[in-house]
Amino acid sequence: MNIQLSDSFTYKKLIRFTIPSVIMLIFTSIYGVVDGIFVSNFAGKTPFAAINLIMPVFLIIGGIGFMIGTGGSALVARYLGEGKKEKANETFSMLVYVSLVFSLIVSVLGAFFIRPIAYSLGARGSMLSDCTLYASILLPSMFAFILQNEFQSFFIVAEKPQFAMWVTVGAGVTNIVLDALFVAVFSWGLMGAAIATAISQLVGGLVPLLYFVFSKKSPLKLTKARINVRDLIKSCTNGSSEMMTNISMSIVTILYNFQLMKFSGEDGVAAYGVIMYVGFVFISAFIGFCVGSAPIISFHYGANNHNELKRLRRMSTVIILVVSVFMTVVSLLLARPLSRIFVGYDRELLDMTVRGFVIYCFSFLIVGFNIFGSSFFTALNDGLVSAIISFLRTLLFQVVSILVLPLLFGLDGIWFAVIMAEGLSLFAVIIFLKKMQPKYKY
């Protein structure tokens, strides 16, 4: 059954439409997880800590794709809902071309500044060399990484979530197979992990690009397009919450690493890396649902279908509630087995990781509602409210929590920080949903 954005959605239809996006985002998150597993077990905890230290830089770069993808797809979907198909295709094409040019510039600049950036993040000695090596291999493929993040949203608008899922699964499998080959078999260590990730990113970015160039069935096509400053600014500001999320996560990760180095040294950074890797796989389920449902919301907002907006918001809340409880229970049960996969070779590090992960798991009860709250306003083309929610959730509340709680509870305070930040963010989301309801009639 072909599900279209214009359909009236039931629980079953909404889940069927968004499941490919959930799988897609989970496989995207697996890239870093696979690198972490192989590097930690075959190269050691210093290269593993180096990946965690330099990863915030790539989160910021990848955030460009998420920003343009989420903000641009909301605008394109709204144009489709208004019946402006040609305008939708021109806007889509313009955003892709701008992303390509910008990503190439970022890659060139990154090649010159990556070593001083790694040094400023606290890398020294062998860790500095590892950070520089890993980053220098990944930088040339950043254009594909940005496109991959961007196309994830545009595939939903094109009503091809299944194709997007298979592209991402293909890229993920490529990463896993090449990691096993390069790191475990050839013993290339950190270099092998970086090469595997770069190749998988090329698969994830170039295959969708070719699809939108040559496909005759897609409602979205790459065509000739001129720079439309108004639509470009609208897309970027509307998707600014996603960019804010990536930048904030990077800043907060750096702050976490500084605090962990202070309280527990290199082991703390490694433990936090495991928690972030595994935690992001779980959280990707929420992000995937939001990516999949956002174009539906945008379409019906553009078509002034207020009753459908109400139903979509209500159904989404129920789905997130059920998944949140299930995810928390599962993560608590799997805390030790999952941690052992990464750091089972070091008993003290394993115990530290498990304790932190058990505490962190309770944030899954809250985080899905906050992610949906920000995504919901992005889909309504209200980039300001979405950005405020993201700023509060991923930066302000996180920074306050990570600075204050360790003073009171030591190392445990670092693990509790995310729970406090998400709890405060939930209050903000509820306030904004109530305040903006008369305007958007959801």
Q: pLDDT tens digits, the chain, 442 residues: what are they?
A: 577 888 888 999 999 989 988 988 887 777 667 777 788 888 887 888 788 778 878 878 888 888 898 889 889 988 988 889 999 999 999 999 999 999 989 888 988 899 999 888 778 888 899 999 999 999 999 999 999 989 988 998 898 888 888 998 899 889 889 999 999 899 998 999 999 999 999 999 999 999 999 988 888 999 999 999 999 998 888 877 667 777 777 788 778 877 887 888 778 877 887 888 788 888 999 999 998 898 899 899 888 899 999 999 999 999 999 999 999 999 999 999 989 988 888 888 899 899 999 999 999 999 999 999 999 998 898 888 988 998 899 889 999 999 999 999 888 999 999 999 999 999 999 999 999 999 888 8
**Cβ atoms within 10 Å, residue 83:** 10
User: What torsion, rounded to 10 degrees, do the Cα atoms 364, 367, 372, 378 define?
Assistant: -150
Model-level pTM?
Answer: 0.73
Distance CA 36, CA 280 (A): 13
Token pair 């944030």: residue: 363
- Could you give the CA distance from residue 105 to residue 47 in angstroms, rounded to a whole number? 28
Tokens of 224: 């000739």
- CA end-to-end span of the chain, whole Å? 27
Q: Where in 283-429 does DSSP place strands (E)?
A: none
364-379 and 383-391 are packed helices; what angle lies between their axes, rounded to 10 degrees?
160
Residue closest to 176 by CA, chosen among 278, 37, 23: 37
Note the Cα 291 to chain centre separation in Å.
Answer: 10
CB 42 within 8 A of CB 184: yes
- Ordered by start, the domain boundaries in the chain are 11-440
Cα–Cα distance for residue pair 291/16, rounded to 1 Å: 13
